[in-house]
C-alpha cells in the first residue's frame, strides 16, 4: 500500500487516525503498532514475522547489553549477536543472488539463484534496530522496557518501508511521552503530508512518465539531446519521489505526535558533491557517519580516505545488489576525496561554476545509478556525449510537451517557492495547498503510473 493511493488516503489513514485518537493515551502506541503491522501486511504478510523476529531479538539484546554494561565481554558479545543477526538477515534476503552469481562466474559453477522476494523496507528497519542496540551499547540511550513501545518504533508505518531512517535516540522522548500529540503539530503534519503528496503525484509521476517513455526506446538510436532529456527527467523524478515520500512520512509522524528529522534540504542547489550529500538522504548519511565512519576512526586517523572509501562502498551496496551501485558509491567517493584534498577551496570562490559542476556530476551519478546493465550504461553515456545524431524530432516533441513540467520541477527543487509561501498570507497558502490536494487526487484517480522508487531499496 502506497501513501499516494485512494486505499490509503480514504480508508486506511482515516480509520487509523480515528482509532488512535479515541483510544486512551496509554494504549495509543499499541494501536499504532497493530496498525503498522496491518499496513505492512498489505504488501507482504509473511514478512511480518521477520520484522517481529528482528524486533524481539533487538529488544531482548538491548536489555541484556544494558544489564551487563559493567561486563565488557558480555556487553560486546550481545552487541556482536545483534550485528550478526541483523546483517545476516539483510544479506540473505537482499544479496544472496548477487553472491551466488559471483561464485558462479568466478568458479564456473551453476548454483541456482534463490529468487527470494525482497522484504519491503528491510534496509530501513534493519538499520533502525541495529542503531538501537549500538546506542544502548554506547550508553547514549536506555533500553526500552516496553516491547510494544519498541515494536511501534521499529514498525512505524509512516517511515517503515522507505524511510527516513529514524534512530531510537531521535524519537525516544516522543515514544515515552504520552502527551506528545498537539493540535499545532497535527495541523503542521497535515500540511506537510499534502506537500509531499503533491510532489509525488503532480511532479514525480509526470516527469517520471517522461523518463520511462524515453528509456524504453532503443538506446542505439537515441539522440544526444534526447538522452540528456531522459536523464534530467530521472534527475527530477527521483528527487520529488523520494523527498515527497519523506515529506509524507514526516507529516504522518507529526499527526501521531512524532518529530522525525529532515531527510532532504534542497540538494540540487549544492555547490559541491560534499554539500550535496549533506542535503540528500540526510538520515542515511548520518547513519553511516555515526555507525561506520566514526567507529572506523573518521578524520582523526591517517587512513581517513580509506575509511571514506569503505563508507561509500557500503553506501552504494546498501542501495542494491548490483555492481552499478558499488560503482556509483566509488564514483562519489572519488569526487568527495578530490574535493577534500584541494577542490573545495576553488569551488567556494564561484557560486555559478560550482553549481554547474555539481549538477553535471550529480546527473552523471544518476546515470550510473539507474542503468544496472553495464552495456546499457556505457551506451547511454556514449550517447550523452556523442556529436552524431545530436538532435531529433523525438527530443523536440517531448521537450515541447514537458517543458512546463521541467520548469516547475526546477522552481520547486529550490527554496524559491517555499520562501514565497512563507511571505504569503496563511489563508492564501492553505487555499493553494487544498487545490493542489484536490488536483493530486484527480491525478491518482486517472493515472496508472504511480511507482515509489525507493521501495526497491
Rounded to the nearest angstrom, the gap between the alpha carbon of residue 276 and the centroid of all alpha carbons in its chain is: 15
> Cell 486512551 maps to which residue?
24
From CA 116, how far away is CA 98, in angstroms rounded?
Answer: 12
Letter string b/e over residues 229-266, b meaning 16 or more CB atoms within 10 A of that residue's CB: bbbbbbbbbbbbbbbbbbbbbbbbbbbbbbbbbebbeb
DSSP state of 186: H
Residue 164: asked if its preceding bond is cis (omega within 30°), the reply is: yes
**Cα–Cα distances in angstroms (integers) from residue 175 to residues 25, 268, 406, 420, 421, in the given order:** 12, 34, 41, 35, 32
Number of other residues whose CB lies within 10 A of the CB of residue 70? 7
In sequence order, what DSSP letters do the residues of 306-340 get, joined into one string?
A: HHHHHHHHHHHHHH-SSHHHHHHHHHHHHHHHHII
In sequence order, what DSSP letters do the residues of 342-367 get, joined into one string?
A: IIHHHHTT-HHHHHHHHHHHHHHHHH
Burial class (CB in 10 A: 0-12, 13-18, 19+), 323: middle
Give every CB contact of residue 172 below 8 A, 6+ residues apart in sequence: 141
Quick one: cell of 326? 558499488
Q: Which position among 192, 319, 395, 412 bears the catalytic label?
A: 319
DSSP state of 391: -
Instruction: Report the phi/psi class of residue 373: left, alpha or beta, with left for phi > 0 and alpha for psi in -120 to 50.
Output: beta
Backbone angles phi, psi at 56, to 5 degrees: -65, -45
Letter string b/e over residues 350-374, b meaning 16 or more CB atoms within 10 A of that residue's CB: eeeebbebbbeebbebbbbbbbeee
User: Is 281 an annotated catalytic residue?
Assistant: no
> Cell 564514483 maps to which residue?
331
Long-range contacts of 261-265 (CB under 8 A, 24+ apart): 261/164, 261/166, 261/170, 261/286, 262/164, 263/163, 263/164, 264/239
Catalytic center residues: 319
Amino acid at each position: 500500500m502506497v501513501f499516494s493511493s485512494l486505499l490509503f488516503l480514504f480508508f486506511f489513514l482515516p480509520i487509523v487516525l480515528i482509532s488512535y485518537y479515541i483510544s486512551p493515551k496509554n494504549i495509543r502506541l499499541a494501536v499504532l503498532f497493530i496498525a503498522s503491522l496491518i499496513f505492512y501486511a498489505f504488501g507482504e504478510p509473511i514478512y511480518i514475522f521477520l520484522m517481529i523476529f528482528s524486533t524481539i531479538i533487538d529488544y531482548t539484546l538491548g536489555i541484556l547489553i544494558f544489564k551487563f554494561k559493567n561486563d565488557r565481554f558480555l556487553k560486546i558479545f550481545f552487541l556482536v549477536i545483534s550485528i550478526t543477526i541483523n546483517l545476516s538477515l539483510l544479506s540473505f534476503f537482499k544479496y544472496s543472488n548477487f553472491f551466488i552469481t559471483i561464485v558462479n562466474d568466478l568458479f564456473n559453477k551453476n548454483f541456482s539463484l534463490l529468487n527470494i522476494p525482497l522484504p519491503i523496507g528491510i534496509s530501513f528497519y534493519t538499520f533502525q534496530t541495529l542503531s538501537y542496540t549500538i546506542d544502548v551499547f554506547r550508553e547514549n540511550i536506555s533500553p526500552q522496557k516496553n516491547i510494544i513501545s519498541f515494536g511501534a518504533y521499529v514498525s512505524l508505518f509512516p517511515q517503515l518501508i522507505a524511510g527516513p531512517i529514524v534512530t531510537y535516540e531521535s524519537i525516544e522522548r516522543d515514544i515515552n511521552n504520552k502527551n506528545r500529540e498537539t493540535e499545532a503539530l497535527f495541523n503542521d503534519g497535515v500540511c506537510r503530508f499534502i506537500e509531499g503528496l503533491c510532489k509525488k503525484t503532480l511532479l514525480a509521476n509526470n516527469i517520471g512518465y517522461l523518463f520511462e517513455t524515453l528509456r524504453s526506446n532503443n538506446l542505439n538510436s537515441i539522440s544526444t539531446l534526447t538522452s540528456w532529456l531522459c536523464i534530467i527527467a530521472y534527475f527530477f523524478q527521483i528527487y520529488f519521489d523520494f523527498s515527497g515520500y519523506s515529506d509524507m512520512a514526516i507529516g504522518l509522524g507529526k499527526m501521531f505526535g512524532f518529530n522525525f528529522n529532515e531527510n532532504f534540504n534542497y540538494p540540487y542547489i549544492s555547490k559541491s558533491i560534499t554539500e550535496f550529500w549533506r542535503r540528500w538522504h540526510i538520515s542515511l548519511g548520518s547513519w553511516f557517519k555515526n555507525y561506520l565512519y566514526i567507529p572506523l576512526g573518521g578524520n582523526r586517523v591517517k587512513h581517513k580516505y580509506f575509511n571514506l572509501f569503505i563508507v561509500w562502498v557500503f553506501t552504494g551496496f546498501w542501495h542494491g545488489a548490483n555492481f552499478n551501485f558499488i560503482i556509483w558509491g566509488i564514483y562519489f567517493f572519488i569526487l568527495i576525496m578530490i574535493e577534500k584534498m584541494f577542490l573545495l577551496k576553488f569551488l567556494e570562490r564561484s557560486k555559478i561554476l560550482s553549481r554547474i559542476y555539481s549538477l553535471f556530476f550529480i546527473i552523471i551519478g544518476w546515470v550510473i545509478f539507474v542503468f544496472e546493465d553495464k552495456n546499457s550504461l556505457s551506451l547511454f553515456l556514449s550517447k550523452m556525449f556523442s556529436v552524431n545524431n545530436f538532435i531529433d524530432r523525438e527530443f523536440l516533441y517531448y521537450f515541447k510537451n514537458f517543458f512546463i513540467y521541467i520548469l516547475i520541477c526546477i522552481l520547486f527543487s529550490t527554496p524559491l517557492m517555499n520562501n514565497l509561501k512563507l511571505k504569503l498570507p496563511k489563508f492564501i497558502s492553505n487555499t493553494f495547498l487544498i487545490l493542489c490536494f484536490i488536483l493530486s487526487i484527480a491525478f491518482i484517480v486517472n493515472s496508472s503510473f504511480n511507482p515509489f522508487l525507493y521501495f526497491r531499496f
